[in-house]
Amino acid sequence: MKSIGKSFLKYVLTFVIVILLFIATLIISSLFPRDWIEENTLESATTLLQEGNPNYVLDMELDNYTDALMINTAYSINPNKPFESAMLARKNYLLEKEQTVYPDSNGGLISSADGDYDILGELYKTVRHDISESYEYARYWHGYLIILRPLLIFFNISQIKVIIGILLALLAFYLFMMLSKKIPIKFCYIIILALAFSDFFLMGITLQGVLTFVISMVASIIIYERYDKIKNISMYFMVIGMVTCFFDLLTHPIITLGIPITVYLLLKQEKEHTGLKENIKLIIVNSIMWGIGYLLTNLTKWILVDVFYRRNLINIAFEQFLFRSQAASVSDPKFLGEAVIYNFEQAGIRVYLFLAVIFIYVIAYLIRNYKVMKFNVKAGVPYLIISLMPIAWYLLMNNHDVDHSYFTYRGLVVFYIGVGLFLLKLLDNNPASEDGEKTRLEK
């Protein structure tokens, strides 16, 4: 009992320290005056207004709507009240002008003056100091501000996107090169192929949702680099869930669980040859810890806002969650599981192309080795379970992921990786596998 209490205390202490770091970084990023970012914010607003919303690159829909909201929130920070600004996360906020300020509500961020959600126009008007209504979006942490505000000092949105694109490519390349030293390279190719079919290498052209990919890559690299030194992997996944909640605006958070846990499982199977029961337990326990970190971080933000600013945010956030997760609403009926269909439809040909590549590879193996074929089901099943994570998320957030399937479909990267590794792991003990082929040649 004493050891259990001590372990629980470590989790609580870790949670508190991480929350304090979140608050501190938000306050620090809110301290410098908006004059420092005004020029690049205006250039960014002009660019987004010219591009419009939606804007397409190839067949990928850019969410300029959310990009504008993020930049607007960064610009609307009041450096004279950094904690208040960080907690309430306003948009359209002007220091020198008397405005009507609306608290966060289930009615959204709609301009009562325009009768619609002209977020691109609102950003431009805000930078031009020509807007009379401000809105709070306090339910999220808006952790992206600690990155976006400093970047806006030196760069506009077009330049920031170039930086993001380069960063993503470097992270993916580094992870691929490092993993290929410890696990068969065919598994590394599955991860890279899945990322490519999920628009990972195009994500640099948008701000919205990109941080879930960055978090998943960084978390996976840390797992690789410190595999033998991470004493409590469950605590690590709790922190990943917390970081995801801090930075993300409910885009495709499941990526930050699915990809790192896959990397960890690949390394564990390769180094320790763990069994099926242990691998399934690993997935379940760490998924729960990721979820606890994610949910409690959300709840902490709502409590902080209610304690300091009395916005009744806990009730509002829970009402919003129920609306976003329910299978149907009065105005727009949806059946349970419709989000699964919508997101696969949104992914479109990507799904079929990815599966086609994998099946061609598997069939070639089967033809070549049909006489000696043995299936390693126990090694593959854990990845099949991981592949179901985005499906479970779509079921949980059904309403939200129907309405926002134009970006939530990217969560299917976990499905691609899981299915691909499941099929390849089935063949992993056969003569055509890399180790088997090497042994056969040596003989």
Give the mean pLDDT of 402-417.
94
**Residue 252 near residue 207 (C-beta atoms within 8 A):** no
Q: What is the pLDDT of residue 434?
A: 44
C-alpha 113, offset from chain centre: 33
Q: Which residue has the higher pLDDT, 285 or 103?
A: 285
pLDDT 10s digits, 167-206: 999 999 999 999 999 999 999 999 999 999 999 999 989 9
Residues linked to residue 133 through DSSP beta bridges, in sequence order: 100
| Rounded-to-integer distance, Cα 325 and Cα 333, Å | 12
DSSP for residue 336: T
What percentage of the chain carries pLDDT values higher than 70?
Answer: 90
Q: How far is CA 151 from CA 9, 156, 317, in A?
A: 37, 8, 30
Asked if residue 370 has pLDDT above 90, the reply is: no
Q: For the chain, which residues make up each domain, given as ranges?
A: 2-145, 156-442
Query: Can you read off the two tokens belonging to residue 217?
Result: 């890559």
What mean pLDDT, rounded, does the chain reach? 89
Q: What is the pLDDT of residue 433?
A: 44
Residues 6+ apart with CB under 8 A from 301: 87, 138, 139, 140, 141
Residue 159's pLDDT band, with cuts at 50, 70 and 90, is: very high
What percentage of the chain carries pLDDT values higher than 90?
Answer: 70
Q: What is the pLDDT of residue 400?
A: 87
Q: Which residue has the higher pLDDT, 79 or 443?
A: 79
Nearest to 208 by CA among 360, 55, 413: 55
Query: Can you read off the two tokens belonging to residue 425?
Result: 């792991």
Poorest-pLDDT segment among 110-114, 176-180, 190-194, 297-301 = 110-114
Query: Can you read off the two tokens belonging to residue 412?
Result: 């299917």
Q: What is the pLDDT of residue 118?
A: 83
Give the mean pLDDT of 78-103.
91
Q: What is the pLDDT of residue 119?
A: 87
Q: What is the amino acid identity at position 188?
A: C
Poorest-pLDDT segment among 93-97, 287-291, 348-352, 432-436 = 432-436
| Rounded-to-integer distance, Cα 350 and Cα 344, Å | 9
Whether a cis peptide bond, with omega within 30° of 0, leads into 54 is: yes
Exposed e or buried b for every residue in 148-158, given b needs 16+ CB within 10 A? bbbbbeebbbe
Query: What pTM did the predictor assign?
Result: 0.91
Nearest to 134 by CA among 96, 93, 104: 93
Pairing of strands 100-102, 133-136: parallel
pLDDT 10s digits, 118-143: 889 999 999 999 998 999 999 999 99
pLDDT 10s digits, 413-426: 999 999 999 999 98
C-alpha 350, offset from chain centre: 19
Poorest-pLDDT segment among 5-9, 22-26, 414-418 = 5-9
Asked if residue 332 has pLDDT above 60, the reply is: no
Which spans in 197-312 are helix H? 210-225, 233-247, 255-272, 276-309
Q: Which residue has the higher pLDDT, 371 or 45?
A: 45
Q: What is the pLDDT of residue 334?
A: 58
Q: How far is CA 49 from CA 41, 46, 52, 125, 370, in A?
A: 12, 5, 5, 11, 59
Nearest to 39 by CA among 170, 174, 152: 152
Asked if residue 273 has pLDDT above 80, the reply is: yes
Give the mean pLDDT of 7-18.
95
**Residue 395 near residue 336 (C-beta atoms within 8 A):** yes
Asked if residue 32 has pLDDT above 90, the reply is: yes
Phi first, then psi: what are they for 333, rounded to 5°?
Answer: -60, 135
Q: What is the pLDDT of residue 105?
A: 79
Nearest to 241 by CA among 257, 230, 265: 257
Exposed e or buried b for every residue in 309-326, given b needs 16+ CB within 10 A? eebebeebbeebbeebbe
Give the mean pLDDT of 140-160.
97
